[in-house]
Amino acid sequence: MSELKLFNTTEKSTWCPGCGDFGILAGIKAALAALDLMPHQAMIVSGIGCGSKLPHYMTVNAYNSLHGRAVPIAQGIKLANHNLKVIIVTGDGDGYGIGANHLMQGMRRNADVTHIIENNQIYGLTKGQYSPTSDKGVVTSFSPEGSIEAALNPLALALAAGATFISRTFAGDVKHMSALIQEAVKHPGYSVVDTLQPCVTYNKVNTYDWYRERVYKVEEEAGYNPTDRDQAWTRAQEWGDRIPVGIIYQDTSRGTYESQVSALQKGPLVQQELNGRYPDYDALKEALV
């Protein structure tokens, strides 16, 4: 039986005190334990950024990839061993910026992975540039006159690209986040978890208090149906005075990418014998000597 303490590690974090990444780390560990997963049954793939150091701070299979390249690596891992629960952890710049094309292709294919995007609306690791999700007009040390770019809408992008599980949560509510991540991991298909995450050092606007005054849970709204695409599209446009969190959209009718690959019908590739002359690794190794 799994326990949260199994995912703990003694490695010291380099995150700023109060960073929203601490809440995300707690939410992921709690979710994996609640799903009764052992550390060896999960794989976390991250990119480059403050939050991408997350798998360093827990006991789990991990792959720290290049900036913007976490999605295709996670897909490759899932294809090699589709019994693993594969979770991608990237920041908003990593996921919605340089990695946006990989993100869209992964959603279109409906790969069975969970993508947690730590959305702090700023580039924290590189000292405070505005990011793809920064609001237009935001003033930073790199945009003293205010950003002239419109902010990307993550939920609308995910809906248009074909993700079959689209959600949002808030790093200041670990209980809600953990429950949402559990549903995302259980969902068969590409699961997006847009995670509102305060950056206490460089983003002085989107603070914990700012979010707490605005977020509301869609599951508590009368008549909301996450399988209704039109309702999901309407909620995806909300930002400002009211910000929706929870499962925005879910579609379980589409098959996953992995379920349609004929070579995987015999089981995970890592458990299959090699074809041809060398039915096992030892024989192949001897032949290559």
| pLDDT band (50, 70, 90) for residue 51 | confident
286 is a domain residue: no
Structure tokens at 14: 């380099």
pLDDT of residue 240 exceeding 60, the answer is yes
pLDDT of residue 59 exceeding 90, the answer is yes
CB 122 within 8 A of CB 140: yes
CB 2 within 8 A of CB 32: yes
Pairing of strands 61-64, 191-196: unpaired
223 is a domain residue: yes
275 is a domain residue: no
* Per-residue model confidence as pLDDT tens digits over 139-190: 988 888 989 999 999 999 999 999 999 999 999 999 999 999 999 999 999 9
Number of domains in the chain: 1
Based on the number of CB atoms within 10 Å of its own CB, is 106 exposed (0-12), middle (13-18) or buried (19 or more)?
Answer: buried
269 is a domain residue: no
118 is a domain residue: yes
Three-class secondary structure of residue 115 per DSSP = strand
278 is a domain residue: no
* Per-residue model confidence as pLDDT tens digits over 12-29: 999 999 999 999 999 999
266 is a domain residue: no
Summarize the confidence of residues 276-288 as an average pLDDT. Answer: 58
Neighbours of 279 (CB within 10 A): 11
227: domain CATH number is 3.40.50.970
- Report CA 179 to chain centroid distance, whole Å: 14
Residue with tokens 């089981």: 267
Q: Domain residues for 74?
A: 4-257
277 is a domain residue: no
